[in-house]
Structure 1
Amino acid sequence: MSSWDGKTRGGLTGYRIFVYILKTFGLRPAYFLLRFVAFYFFLFSRKSNRHIRFYFRQVMAFGYLKTRLSTYRNYYQLGQVLIDKVAVMSGLGKSFTYHWDGEEHLRNMEDGGLLISAHIGSWEIAGNFLQRLDKRFNIVMFDEEHQKIKSYMEDVMTEKNLHVIPLKDDFSHLLAIKHALENKELVAIHADRFVEGSKTISHRFLDKDALFPEGPFYLAARFSAPVTFVFAVKESSRHYHFFASPAKRYEINSKRSVGEDELRPMIKDYICHMEYILKKYPLQWFNYHKFWEEEAD
């Protein structure tokens, strides 16, 4: 079974390229140059092409030509989101506008809680927007991408209200998450990728069986934390739409162990919100790894 290796597409090299383009040419010229970068990935990124084309062709049922066009547009939108993220984290957040659906749900989370999201749109941009809530905001990130990107991004960041909790092999991140929740802080985490050896749960998603990492849902259950599902999608060149569901605390009856049956109601709700977003914004699915069980490795 193919799984995610913990590295986000583009990595540190991608960040360097986007920062250079943004600082040298500005936002609009950066978008223009991005067209050529996206076309390069469209032509030569075989592995990610295989997975994203499966999503468009088999999952979303797009035709052959629409699948090819959507693949290119998907890479282009991913690049835009990365450029936007760098722009916002570099202090250019006022260049963008945004619309909130569910801001009141986050304001009502006085005891803190988990914000569960996916590789849809850009949750880092959502995190920068969340500073207006006057709450401490933590992002859980895989350690390998965190270590390579953190030091570089710190040189260009002016907004430093976000705190990164790296996922580590020694599970020290669990203590950091527990500490954040005890301090009534918000903790954001993705729940649509898994690394080799991690526990997964199979569930129907867009009419096909998909594998979801157990970890994020287990954390919510074990810590009895309120959960909201959040997404921030790009609707135009400089406008984002933020979605947040009403916070819900999933009560787990078993005190000794938390199994799949206890986690499925939470996963089902998560999938329901993901499906709603993807049906409206199908091009903003940025998961370039095997996800559905019937995909080829």
Structure 2
Amino acid sequence: MSSWEGKSKGSILGYRIFVWSLKIFGIRSAYALLVPVTYFYYLFSKRASSALREFYQNMYQDNKSHTKLIRKTFLVFGRTLVDRVALGMGMYEKYKFKSTGREYMRESYEQGNGSLLISAHLGNWEIAGNLLEQLEMPVNVVMLDAENEQLKSYLQQQNKQATFTVIPIKNDMSHLLAIRIALQKGEIVCIHGDRFVPGARTMTADFFGKEAHFPQGPFQVAAKFKVPYHIVFALKDGKYGYKFFSTPARISNDPNKIVGDFVEELEKQVLSHPEQWFNFYNFYAQA
């Protein structure tokens, strides 16, 4: 995990080019620009390509190169970045959306309970944060505040449609208080359960037949506060579509039970959408 630092790939110039293309020519042209860009990353990001290959070989239990799947993963990842900016600019009419299980979150909210949505870097969670606007419920997204300041400021300027509150993860652990306050107010808190920075506390679980490390925080929060938790994903569905999936609410005071639920659902979704696995590092490395 030491290779992941919580920062977006790419320079501000690259993002400016795609934003300019979106504004002048539309989403289709931005997608076209991605083809050579993502192929370049496929060729020269050896560490990322190698990590994906090892992951797919372990998942499928074979020794194939999985070249086509790896190239497609880079391309789909690029498209989700374009979609992130496009939807932030308000281009909702260009996309189609489907959802399964949003009523489960509505039930938790109407009962006056705060709820924890646990997701992964599979598909595009930031888009889900905006889509949850339709539920008319207060949404908080917990994320690592490690973006390059200039790049982060630029992306925030473009994302004029954001309807969720960001809770940045801080070294002083103040984000835990913010999470607790949001849950006590009956709000939704969204958090990733698949990544952690070096030095963070982790717990292990069997993931596709091999031991993997997962951040301890999300599962301890759900267990300690005894709030309903949902395993959720926002997955790209076709070229211009997204689908949202949520499990029914569950409550447990056992972090191991919760991480087990998370891994079980994550395996199902990765098998169905392997080209949307966006962890470009050795996922099975030790903490």
Q: Is the structural similarity TM-score above 0.5?
A: yes
Deviations 1:166-197 (A, max 9, x none): 10101111111111111111111111111111
Of 186-195 and 154-163, deviating more is 154-163
For 1:183 and 1:148, locate their aligned partners in 2 and report how far apart those are by CA, in whole Å. 33
Q: Which structure 2 segments of 5+ residues have no match? A: none
Partner of 1:40: 40
Deviations 1:243-266 (A, max 9, x none): 00001111x2xxxxxxxxx31110
Task: Provide the aligned C-alpha RMSD in A.
Answer: 1.9
2:200/2:215 contact within 8 Å kept: yes
Describe how 1:72-91 pairs up with structure 2 within 5 A: 72-91=71-90
SS in 2 for 1:52: helix
Describe how 1:119-138 pairs up with structure 2 within 5 A: 119-138=121-140
Q: CA deviation at 1:13?
A: 5.3
Identify the match of residue 272 of structure 1 among 264, 272, 277: 264
SS in 1 for 2:142: strand
Q: 1:277 to 1:158 in 2, by over 3 A?
A: same
Q: CA deviation at 1:51?
A: 1.1
Given residue 218 of structure 2, which amino acid in structure 1 is its aligned partner?
P
SS in 2 for 1:141: strand
Given residue 269 of structure 2, which amino acid in structure 1 is its aligned partner?
I
2:129/2:163 contact within 8 Å kept: no
**Correspondence 1:221 to 2:223:** yes
Identify the match of residue 290 of structure 1 among 273, 282, 286: 282
2:72/2:275 contact within 8 Å kept: yes
SS in 1 for 2:89: helix
For 1:203 and 1:235, locate their aligned partners in 2 and report how far apart those are by CA, in whole Å. 29
For 1:17 and 1:53, locate their aligned partners in 2 and report how far apart those are by CA, in whole Å. 30
Given residue 157 of structure 1, which amino acid in structure 2 is its aligned partner?
N
Q: CA deviation at 1:293?
A: 4.1
1:18/1:82 contact within 8 Å kept: no
Deviations 1:66-118 (A, max 9, x none): x1111110000000111111111110112111111101111112122111000
**Deviant stretches of 4+, over 6 Å:** none
Identify the match of residue 249 of structure 1 among 251, 271, 281: 251
Partner of 2:56: 56
Q: 1:132 to 1:289 in 2, by over 3 A?
A: same
SS in 2 for 1:201: strand
SS in 1 for 2:78: helix
1:116/1:189 contact within 8 Å kept: yes
Q: 1:157 to 1:3 in 2, by over 3 A?
A: closer
How many percent identity over aligned positions? 39
Of 143-152 and 197-206, deviating more is 143-152
Identify the match of residue 175 of structure 1 among 156, 174, 177: 177
Describe how 1:201-216 pairs up with structure 2 within 5 A: 201-216=203-218
Q: CA deviation at 1:58?
A: 2.6
Q: TM-score, normalised by structure 2?
A: 0.93
Partner of 1:116: 118
Instruction: Figure out how many residues of one structure are paired with residues of the other and give that number.
Output: 284
Q: CA deviation at 1:228?
A: 0.3
Q: 1:131 to 1:293 in 2, by over 3 A?
A: same
For 2:260 and 2:11, locate their aligned partners in 1 and report how far apart those are by CA, in whole Å. 31
